[in-house]
Amino acid sequence: MKPVLGVGLLLACGALGGCVAAVVGGAAAGGYYVGKDDRSADRIAADAAITADVKARLIAEPGIRAFQINVDTYNAVVTLKGDVKTGAQRATAEQLAHKVKGVKSVRNSLAVKS
């Protein structure tokens, strides 16, 4: 099972201003992910930070329904899943993900649904 970043953590992250620390603490809580995942703790933390950055950029982008988009990062590969209203929004979401530091590639599985 891949780790999933909760919306509550993301919102708390923005309010606290210490996003990386909040995400890192949440990602490695109890050693569960470290024990169940083939990635190192550092890689898990880096992937969580990438996910948080991508999600924050989506939230800040006018016209994108960010809470309809799931962002998952595994070994610096970002996967976008969910629904967008237009092909332009799909392309914008992918471009935003590519701009995040540390991202190797983006798998865009967003569906265009009006």
Domain residues for the domain of 71 are 7-112
Considering its fold, how many domains does the chain have in total? 1
The dihedral through the CA atoms of 17, 54, 100, 50 has a sign that is positive
User: How far apart are the C-alpha atoms of 94 and 6, rounded to whole Å?
Assistant: 21
Measured in residues, the chain has a length of 114
**pLDDT tens per residue across span 61-108:** 999 999 999 999 999 999 999 999 999 999 999 999 999 999 999 999
Residue 2 lies in a domain: no
User: How far apart are the C-alpha atoms of 114 and 103, rounded to whole Å?
Assistant: 29
User: How far apart are the C-alpha atoms of 109 and 72, rounded to whole Å?
Assistant: 11
In this prediction, residue 35 carries a pLDDT of: 61
Residue 65 lies in a domain: yes
In this prediction, residue 88 carries a pLDDT of: 96
User: How far apart are the C-alpha atoms of 50 and 48, rounded to whole Å?
Assistant: 5
Residue 1 lies in a domain: no
**pLDDT tens per residue across span 25-64:** 444 444 444 567 899 999 999 999 999 999 999 999 999 9
Whether 3 shows a pLDDT value over 80: the answer reads no
The model carries a pTM of 0.70
Query: Letter for the amino acid at 112?
Result: V
